[in-house]
Amino acid sequence: MTDYDSLSARIRALTEGETDEVALMATLACELHQSDDRFDWTGFYRVTAPDLLKIGPYQGGHGCLVIPFSRGVCGAAARTGEVQLVPDVDAFPGHIACASSTRSEIVLPVWGKDRRLIGVLDIDSDLPDAFTAEDARRLEAILHDTFGGL
């Protein structure tokens, strides 16, 4: 399990003073991915056009390059502005299988200043039911601390 207190402190130290969204995403993807064995794919999809996400910095195997807001778990998080906690990806209507090994997923909207949607943080696991409401809460706090003032 993730030691979120230590992870949060490390991310704050690494990102202090940085305002470039891509640099911040790259740093978070790396730190998050290495923090927990449950995290099989960890990365960001950036809002690049109305209702469109494109792959950003990530760790793990290849991801989907483009995801419309109308499709998949990432699209649902972007469209609704709500965390998507998916214990079984096969049971999620319209799930996009970027990797056949993915069993569960958590996707969080990433908000900048004035609640501008920057993108989504997508974490996949090859384990079923790998993520909890506590993961969602702690990851939301990290995202807010990192991107909330941009």
Domain containing residue 64: CATH number: 3.30.450.40
How far apart CA 123 and CA 58 sit, in angstroms, is 10
How far apart CA 62 and CA 117 sit, in angstroms, is 24
- Using the predicted structure, report yes or no on whether residue 150 has a pLDDT greater than 90: no
pTM (predicted TM-score):
0.95
Which tokens sit at 132?
Answer: 């909890």
Could you report the per-residue pLDDT of 116-148, keeping only the tens digit for each?
999 999 999 999 999 999 999 999 999 999 998
| DSSP at 61 | S
What is the extent of the structural domain holding 109?
A: 4-147
Number of domains within the chain: 1
